Structure 1
Amino acid sequence: MSSETTMHPPKRPSKRGLRLFGLVASAVLIAIVVIGLITRATQASSLKTWTDEQAIPTVNVVAPEPGKAGPVLDLPGRLEAFTRAPIYAQVSGYLKDWKTDIGAHVKTGELLGEIDTPELDQQLAQARADLVSAKANANLAEITAKRWQAMTGTDSVAQQDIDERTSDYTAKVALVSAAQANVDRLIATKAFARLVAPFDGVVTARDTDVGALINAGGGTGPEMFVVSDIHQLRVYVQVPQSDGPSIRPGSSAVLVVPEYPTREFHAKVVATSDAVNANSGTTLVQLLVDNADGALMPGAFAHVRFNLPVDAAALRVPASALIFDNAGLRVATIGAGDKVAFKKVSILYDFGKSVEIGSGLQAGDRVIDSPPDGIKDGEAVKIASDDATAKPHEKA
């Protein structure tokens, strides 16, 4: 073994082989470095592009749409009886008795109460006595006039005396007519001692009692009774001037009263005042509501809800699209080149989540919903798509 090792020593690599190996290794190292530099530059460029893209705001766009239903106008109203008649005393005296109390249903002509009129009774008795006296005087004057007229053409009486007796009879007849008229007047006045219902209805007030002193006030004294017809009720509502043209006779409304919070009553507009109250800026509207079951009460408060007609020219957008700042009320739209264009708008109605725009928008506008803070007019934006989401690139 030692002899063979001595006879065949190991071969050393040649210089040419070493040089070739070094060149190959250098080329590989250079290629690795170049690939690394290219990869890093590509990633840096991609990151810069992604960063620049992220610097452009991404916005959601909505299209203005016409409303499918008109706005709802909710206003306070008051209920009044269809017909209300306060009953006043037309004769003086003392209340003899009353026949009906509050809540009583009465018919036309039904007795409500009666007044004892001792003074009027004496006046009537005196007037009747005066009538009897006047008739007696007239009868005597008639007999006298006929006797004098029978002597006409004789030389026993003068024509002047005959004419005087005839005129006296005529005057006495006139006194009889006056006395009869006075009796009739007092009888008619005595009839007012009976207080009767002027129409079918309900007694809604009684402000008197037995023995109370009654003074004929001609409508200026206290109301003794009030009779109300409540088979229908009138509803009075003060409507803002801006909504007045939308509510005309024939329009419908829904009433809700506190005592029946889950029940709706349907009413119809029958008249408007066609005038604006200068103090409140409202116009008076009158409605009628059926009350056959008597559920509604005159004098009550009610919420009156009007469904206004749809304005074909008005457009609705989300309330989140509105911008209110020093420049006023605006919305941000996307114009040419996907750049922001602000438009001033006015609101017709606020529906909470959406608003109805009266002016400033067109149906084809692209409105930015929830515009980012600091967005500027003319700034470029990107429109968000439903199926694509921007994601940052991961670093190598």
Structure 2
Amino acid sequence: MFDNLSNKLDKAIKTLKGQGRITDINVASTVKEIRRALIDADVNYKVAKEVTDRIKDKAIGRDVLIAVSPGQLLVKIVSEELTELMGGTKSDMTIKGDPAVILISGLQGSGKTTFTGKLANLLKKQGKQVMLAACDIYRPAAINQLKVLGEQVGVEVYAEPENKNALQIAQNAIKHAKQSGKSIVIVDTAGRLAVDEEMMNEISALKESLKPSETLFVVDAMTGQDAVNTAKAFNERLNFDGVVLTKLDGDTRGGAAISIRAVVDKPLKFVSTGEKMDAIDVFHPDRMAQRILGMGDVVSLVERAQETFDQQEAERINKKIRKNQFDFNDFLSQLDQIKKMGNIKDLLGMIPGMGKAMKGVDVDENSFKPIEAIIQSMTPDERANPDIMTGSRRQRIAKGSGTSIQQVNNLMKQFDDMRKMMKTMNKMGGMKALGNMKGLGR
């Protein structure tokens, strides 16, 4: 997420030399490099110039504390300015009405339908009664795609495949939602181009008739300045309430996305990465700024952990650790918990410093599969009693899992090291604190 921009900003800030005070001389070249990094990432030129001018004005003449380098002080200033550029504070959705209507709009291929499924999943987890309305009457596979997504997240999808009137379908969906006790209807519409007058009239009519409590504009973060231009054109017609950035797991020209707020003066509300239905986050400007600058995002990491946190399972494993009985069944259970938290590379990026450490390293989403295959090739007795693992058993496991004996030996060593570490922490009384994720969240 924003890897290229992060790397270039990091290089730019490292050029700042000198101690004691930031002056016009020692900050000029650094600010120039920051501006170049923003423009290279496709941030709007006017926006890039304005934000770097503010950075320069804030930095010049600032005293540097003994314990802080000029570079560190500049990181703080850049973080504050990026946060302000992206909206300053989190912007919540407005959910009003019986049922509340959320209208989804955007360009063709921007990821609207996938985002619709993700949003339904997020709202359902919050205890809302959600229904999806399939109002894309042009793309042949759109209705089927929405039905598949609805099935995945356990949300009803209202569709009329033979009806070619999007407004009528939406109105009927709202009636059906009232009758079935649904509190929110998310209306998935067809992708359209801003230059297509007929299609733009249709989405305008949908908004005017349905009076949605929230109209979201979905934009592909990788489309560069086109993302900003189309957001502006759609906003002039729709006056939407917020922007959704999709495909942030790609990183070609994602920097354009951070200048949308400045151009259309509408908040960024959600970001979406990947195809999984839980790959959606509420947009926090301050957290995104920190991640862009390689500072991590511990708060979001803890929130992700809490979402998937199983209190009973944690207590069960805690007891086994205290008795030094942690086995491969427990290890497999912990792997499942981590996988539920989302994309591994994204999670690593939330740990301060890990973004830079992982630079250039491709984190394969299938990296857990060999480990799972090895454990699943063990007998129940071997999983429950790791100490009985002999050389012949390891050879059989390697053959059965399609891995090498070296991979099996590596896993056994890592597992043994982990158990020793857990035993040591348990003696220090640390496991209780580690197991209490809710306490960590507070």
Normalised to the residue count of structure 1, the TM-score between the two structures is 0.18
Structure (1 or 2) with the greater strand fraction: 1
Normalised to the residue count of structure 2, the TM-score between the two structures is 0.17
Structure (1 or 2) with the greater helix fraction: 2
